């Protein structure tokens, strides 16, 4: 038999239990709503003068794929391996981008492995090409549907017969935008690695004391920078400075245009800042990268793509 006091105690315990359960349920509901708001849920924000209007969540940035399954390269003689193996000849097997040589360990080999790189990497660079030619190379490359396109172009736009003949910065920008547009029209999700234009002044500084290099330069290699390599007159120095400033302007364009594309990575000026020495330059022209120089370019590209 239960006494009156004991019945009263049980009733009070029951009411407290119910109260706690209700409180827990309400708390969970409130926290659930707060959690949805924190991750951009659909619950409406509270109204009132002390609250801000709800803002849409930002568009997610696509994750950069550090392991693309295929690669195409476009550009100029640097990417064809010109003068790296034999004089005045292309040597694509040592290309920094798609070469098969173990001495280079190209970007394609590093990313895909040697066997897969042989089947899933393509080089459409052409010796002597300028930025105006890259859109056409892109049109060829997109037929392969590469997941990554490597771009290195611009040196020949600065390496003209005279400084006045260099591609204007405005035209360079339009041409690069056209090339990117050609890619995006066909492959909106392809990734792009863009290398900066090398420091042409550095190449002059490295080769100007070498009698053989000066003889080769006299055949017409980058005359805007390398003509009369021994001359230190005000006119000659101003000419070289003009070329150097144009290269720096080109690199700024590459950076700016690439920054507008969510799947494009610029090397941050790494190629331009690389201190090419005698070992990294062709023994035949002291201008184009040697096999060792191609390997250094491959390292720079790999870091940019995989970081």
Query: What domains sit in the chain, N to C, each tagged with a CATH number?
Result: 71-306 (3.40.50.1110)
Residue with tokens 């239990």: 17
pLDDT at 62: 65
10 to 1, 5, 6, 17, 194: CA distances (angstroms): 14, 9, 6, 11, 77
pTM of the full predicted structure?
0.80
Q: What is the pLDDT along the chain (307 residues), one digit of tens a residue?
A: 444 444 444 444 444 443 444 334 333 333 333 333 222 333 333 333 333 334 444 444 468 999 999 999 999 999 999 999 998 899 999 999 999 999 999 999 999 999 999 999 999 999 999 999 999 999 999 999 999 999 999 999 999 999 999 999 999 999 999 999 999 999 999 999 999 999 999 999 999 988 988 998 998 999 999 999 999 999 999 999 999 999 999 999 999 999 999 999 999 999 999 999 999 999 999 999 999 999 999 999 999 999 9
At 121, list the tokens: 């990497």
């Amino acid at each position: 038999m239960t006494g009156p006091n004991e019945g009263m105690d049980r009733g009070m315990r029951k009411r407290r239990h119910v109260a706690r359960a209700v409180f827990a349920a309400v708390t969970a509901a409130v926290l659930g709503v707060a959690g949805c708001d924190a991750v951009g849920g659909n619950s409406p924000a509270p109204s009132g003068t002390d609250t801000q209007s709800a803002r849409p969540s930002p568009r997610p940035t696509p994750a950069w794929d550090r392991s693309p399954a295929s690669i195409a390269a476009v550009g100029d003689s640097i990417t064809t391996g010109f003068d790296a193996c034999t004089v005045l000849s292309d040597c694509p097997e040592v290309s920094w981008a798609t070469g098969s040589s173990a001495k280079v360990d190209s970007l394609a080999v590093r990313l895909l492995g040697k066997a897969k790189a042989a089947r899933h990497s393509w080089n459409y660079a052409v010796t002597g090409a300028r930025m105006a030619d890259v859109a056409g190379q892109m049109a060829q490359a997109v037929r392969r549907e590469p997941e990554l396109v490597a771009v290195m172009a611009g040196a020949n736009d600065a390496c003209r017969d005279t400084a006045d003949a260099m591609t204007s910065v405005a035209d360079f920008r339009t041409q690069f935008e056209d090339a990117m547009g050609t890619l995006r029209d066909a492959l909106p999700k392809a990734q792009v690695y863009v290398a900066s234009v090398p420091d042409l002044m550095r190449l002059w500084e490295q080769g100007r004391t070498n009698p053989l290099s000066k003889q080769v330069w006299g055949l017409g290699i980058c005359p805007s920078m390398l003509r009369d390599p021994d001359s230190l007159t005000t006119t000659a120095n101003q000419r070289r400075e003009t070329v150097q400033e144009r290269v720096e302007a080109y690199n700024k364009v590459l950076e700016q245009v690439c920054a507008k594309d969510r799947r494009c990575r610029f090397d941050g000026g790494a190629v331009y800042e690389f201190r090419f020495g005698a070992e990294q330059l062709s023994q035949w022209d002291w201008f184009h990268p040697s096999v060792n120089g191609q390997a250094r370019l491959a390292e720079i590209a790999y870091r940019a793509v995989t970081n």
